[in-house]
Amino acid sequence: MRAIYLMQTMALGDEVDGIVYSAKAGCRKPKPEFFAFAAREFGRQPGELLLVDDTLPNIEAARSAGWKAVHWDGTERLSTILHRSVS
């Protein structure tokens, strides 16, 4: 599963608060309901949340929902993006 790979193999577990699974949310990105569910799940306002994703429609949807969003093309380390984005 990709989420486990990101959290364990790429050692992002210490960098992020968690991952929202579409099965639990009952919908998938880029649906606005996904982003609303995630904000409720983490108890955060949309402007406090960051999506790093490799799909532009997901980035656009996150920004429309008030989130910070970074398009990741795989060339930059995710930990670098996270540190830069939350600073």
Q: State the pLDDT at residue 56.
A: 98
Is 80 exceeded by the pLDDT of residue 54?
yes
Looking at the domain assignment, is residue 45 inside a domain?
A: yes
Looking at the domain assignment, is residue 46 inside a domain?
A: yes
Q: State the pLDDT at residue 10.
A: 64
Averaged pLDDT, 40-58: 95
Indicate the range of 9-13, 15-19, 28-32, 75-79 predicted with least confidence.
9-13
Which residue range(s) make up the domain with 40?
Answer: 17-86
Count up the domains in the chain and report the number: 1
DSSP-H helix ranges across the chain: 2-4, 22-25, 32-42, 56-64, 78-86
Q: State the pLDDT at residue 2.
A: 67
Q: Which of 76, 38, 46 is nearest to 63 (CA)?
A: 46
Rg of the chain over Cα atoms, rounded to whole angstroms, equals: 12
Looking at the domain assignment, is residue 69 inside a domain?
A: yes
- Decide if 14 contacts 21 (C-beta within 8 A): no
Residue 69, φ and ψ in degrees, nearest 5: -150, 140
Looking at the domain assignment, is residue 7 inside a domain?
A: no
Distance CA 2, CA 4 (A): 5
